[in-house]
Chains A and B, each alone.
Chain A
Amino acid sequence: MSIINSHYSMQVFIQDWKHCDQTSNYFAQLVGASHPLAKRYINLLSTILNEVLEIIFRQNKDNGIEGSMAISIKQEGDYVFTTFDIPVNDSGKFFFTNAIDTINQGDTKLIYRRALQALANNSDTCPQVGLYDVAANYDVNIDYQTKDHDRFAILIGIHYGDIVVD
């Protein structure tokens, strides 16, 4: 079941960091309104979506990427699937592919802990730490789809069935 499809000018999206928070909050409110577990679920969903949007924001701003971003949200059973279809260059494609492959091939809590240690030691800027956080602490499925040479899709699957009712 489609909940919403949305399209954003990337040039406008990266003009203000607040756009990440505004968008994640709005989508979380939209999706969560129909769930009886509303408040806790809205907060969870907002946090997850915000982390992904912040990484997209930084990557695209740092690389000067323009074009459009499409975000679609679907519900299937107890899962909510969000797809972020974004413009990328080769560097961005490598960044996201590497980050998500790392998540899916290892112990996510260990990966996240190492990233935090690297940040604390200033040995690495670790821009992908937000994705590691989402994977390690929110029990989220993360995957990707490489599209045409300048498009990339980040796929997030969130199971809300285990969230305790308030």
Chain B
Amino acid sequence: MVMIGQYCQSFTVDDGDIRLQFYPDDFAIEWQQVGMVANYLSNYLTSGDYLKNRAAQGTANIEDMVGSIAYVANELFENAIKFNEQGAIEIAIATRGDKVIILLTNQLTVDQSTDFQSHVKNIAESDAAMMFFEKVEANADNEESSASGLGLLSMVMDYNVILGWQFDPIKHKEDIVTVRTMAQLPIS
């Protein structure tokens, strides 16, 4: 097992106020549906008592939370769809204390996992703003590059999201790794 960034093992998918499990090998997830998942989760969670009570107390802005939860969920789910090697993709979301926790689980090949660990280690250990602008410049200089790699950095910079990852091998599948991405979004 490898953990990078701030990953809270005490929170699992079973702790989600809502948890969705998809099977893209059997039922393909179209790109326009990524936004639908994010919007659904965001609207569902912000309709619950926890955030409504926080808004009534003046310690949360529901409109802002709808947008920020949807953005983070969208980025994480989109990454999972893009890079899932096989098997189910799972997303769980809950309110805990001063945070909204989003936990995304998917599967990577060992090579993908190695590359991704290197990437997120950089994010966890570097200045996110500096990395963001370096990436933007690199993308601008390289015509073949895209906005890839900016989503996680945007979350950290623009939404003060705390990110963490856990990588686990799968029994009897030596070439596949389960990755859990945890985003902790401050309630504001």
Residues of A whose CB lies within 8 Å of any CB of B are 1-9, 12, 15-16, 18-19, 22-23, 25-26, 29-30, 33-34, 75
B47 within 8 A of A: yes
Q: Is the CB of B27 within 8 A of A19?
A: no
Q: Is the CB of B27 within 8 A of A2?
A: yes
Cα distance, A26 to B42, chains bound together (Å): 12
Residue in B17, B21, B26, B52 whose beta carbon sits within 8 Å of that of A8 in the complex: B17
Q: Is the CB of B23 within 8 A of A19?
A: no
A9-B18, A12-B18 known; A3+B23 contact, CB < 8 A: yes
Besides A1-B26, A12-B48, 12 more A-B contacts (Cβ < 8 Å) are A7-B14, A15-B47, A16-B49, A16-B52, A18-B43, A19-B44, A22-B40, A25-B40, A26-B36, A30-B36, A33-B30, A75-B27
B169 within 8 A of A: no
In the complex, per-residue mask of B3-36: 1 if CB is within 8 Å of any chain A CB, else 0: 0000000000010111111110011101011001
Residue in A3, A5, A22, A25 whose beta carbon sits within 8 Å of that of B47 in the complex: A22
Q: Is the CB of A7 within 8 A of B33?
A: no
Residue in A4, A5, A22, A34 whose beta carbon sits within 8 Å of that of B44 in the complex: A22
Cα distance, A8 to B94, chains bound together (Å): 10
Q: Is the CB of A7 within 8 A of B30?
A: no
Q: Is the CB of A15 within 8 A of B44?
A: no
Residue in A5, A16, A33, A34 whose beta carbon sits within 8 Å of that of B21 in the complex: A5
Cα distance, A29 to B40, chains bound together (Å): 11
The residue in chain A whose Cβ has the minimal distance to the Cβ of B26 is A1
Q: How far is the CB of B141 from chain A (nearest CB, A)?
A: 38
Q: Is the CB of B33 within 8 A of A4?
A: no
Residue in B19, B22, B37, B44 whose beta carbon sits within 8 Å of that of A7 in the complex: B19
Cα distance, A26 to B18, chains bound together (Å): 13
Cα distance, A6 to B30, chains bound together (Å): 18
Cα distance, A73 to B54, chains bound together (Å): 34
Q: Is the CB of B43 within 8 A of A22?
A: yes
Residues of A within 8 A of B40 (CB): 22-23, 25-26
Q: Is the CB of A6 within 8 A of B47?
A: no
Q: Is the CB of B33 within 8 A of A15?
A: no
Q: How far is the CB of B157 from chain A (nearest CB, A)?
A: 29
Q: How far is the CB of B57 from chain A (nearest CB, A)?
A: 16
Q: Is the CB of A30 within 8 A of B33?
A: yes
Cα distance, A19 to B42, chains bound together (Å): 11
Q: How far is the CB of A14 from chain B (nearest CB, A)?
A: 10
Q: How far is the CB of B16 from chain A (nearest CB, A)?
A: 7
Cα distance, A5 to B47, chains bound together (Å): 21
Residue in B19, B33, B47 whose beta carbon sits within 8 Å of that of A18 in the complex: B47
Q: Is the CB of B23 within 8 A of A2?
A: yes
What are 23 inter-chain pairs, A to B, with CB distance below 8 A? A1-B27, A2-B26, A3-B27, A6-B18, A6-B20, A6-B21, A7-B16, A7-B18, A12-B48, A12-B49, A15-B48, A16-B47, A16-B52, A22-B40, A22-B44, A22-B47, A23-B40, A26-B36, A30-B36, A33-B30, A33-B32, A33-B33, A34-B27
